Chains A and B, each alone.
Chain A
Amino acid sequence: MKARVTVMLKAGVLDVQGEAVRHALGSLGFAGVNGVRQGKVIELDLTETDAARARADVTAMCDKLLANVVIESYQIEIL
């Protein structure tokens, strides 16, 4: 089964890259973009076939490596 992990900077942590993208959109004439947050998507191809166990495994992977929980939050989708 597959899993998709979305890692984002936590709310309240200034996202300087997102801010730069927001400015660039503004200078391209896209008015009304109040905020941009940039994150990353990590897709995993797993041998596990049980969704609950897969979610537990991926949670451990996020806590250990895929996200830095000091500054980032993550969401897991089991597909």
Chain B
Amino acid sequence: MKAAVITFPGSNCDRDLAVAFEHAGFDVARVWHKDTDLPAGVDVVGVPGGFSFGDYLRCGAIAAQSPIAGAVRAHAAKGGYVLGICNGFQVITEMGLLPGALMRNAGLKFICKSVDLVVASAASPFTSAYAAGQTISLPIAHHDGNYTIDADGLARLHGEDRIALRYRSNPNGSMGDIAGVLSENRRVLGMMPHPERAVDARVGGTDGAGVFASILGEMALV
């Protein structure tokens, strides 16, 4: 199974995300934002956290227009898997792969701590290794994680079981305590918490490993 991890100027979780994919058993290709194509045979694209383009204009807005963006959109359009974490969630939302937007945290502070999350849906390629309703602990580190969507969109996410993860105690004002949201075909996940920082018992615990194990398990079925 092959994963591609994209690096933008200002990405800072790209190496950790690549290591997490490798740890789970993926072959990993590193892709620069100026590339226009993904390597052949990529199954899952990882869009990492960080501060792409210094968060200028809006978080993720400029990265979403970078040369690689067309290939990521095409990958998603043909049913490929995309995992966007933190700034990566902001980037793929700005790309239009997910509905809604990520706004400044309600408390206006950058929040960096581990939080408890509820696996709201285990019926996804990214969460199938968890039990629905299970509580996991993952680090968050963001200033703009306040997920916002209009009332109809929120009802749709609820109705279609597209909320993958919720905060147990809402840190940032996100509507519906949403920490992670799925695309309509469930093959794109955007999440603010960092599973790639929780795949090693020596640093940060292993609660995030299930995300990568889920993707691998899903692909074994395909």
Per the bound structure, the CA–CA distance linking A14 and B101 in Å amounts to 13
A33 at the interface (CB under 8 A from B): no
Interface string of B143-157 (1 = CB under 8 A from A): 000101100000000
CB within 8 Å for A71 and B148 given contacts A65-B61, A65-B65: yes
Give chain A nearest CB distance to B53 CB in angstroms. 12
B94 at the interface (CB under 8 A from A): yes
B77 at the interface (CB under 8 A from A): no
Within 8 A of A (CB), among B31-68: 57-58, 61-62, 65
**A residues whose Cβ falls under 8 Å from a Cβ of B:** 13-14, 16-17, 20, 64-66, 68, 70-71
B131 at the interface (CB under 8 A from A): no
Task: Report the nearest B residue to A66, measured CB to CB.
Answer: B57
Main secondary structure of the interface of B (DSSP, over half): loop
CB within 8 Å for A17 and B104 given contacts A66-B57, A68-B58, A68-B94: yes
Q: With A16-B106, A17-B108 given, name 7 new contacts (CB 8 A).
A: A14-B106, A16-B108, A20-B108, A65-B61, A65-B65, A66-B57, A70-B101
B136 CB contacts on chain A under 8 angstroms:
none
| CB pairs A–B below 8 angstroms (21 shown) | A13-B103, A16-B103, A16-B104, A16-B105, A16-B107, A16-B108, A16-B146, A16-B173, A20-B108, A64-B65, A65-B57, A65-B61, A65-B62, A65-B65, A68-B58, A68-B61, A68-B94, A68-B101, A70-B100, A70-B149, A71-B148
Per the bound structure, the CA–CA distance linking A70 and B103 in Å amounts to 11
Per the bound structure, the CA–CA distance linking A68 and B94 in Å amounts to 8
Per the bound structure, the CA–CA distance linking A27 and B146 in Å amounts to 26
A16 CB contacts on chain B under 8 angstroms:
103-108, 146, 173
Task: Report the nearest B residue to A69, measured CB to CB.
Answer: B101
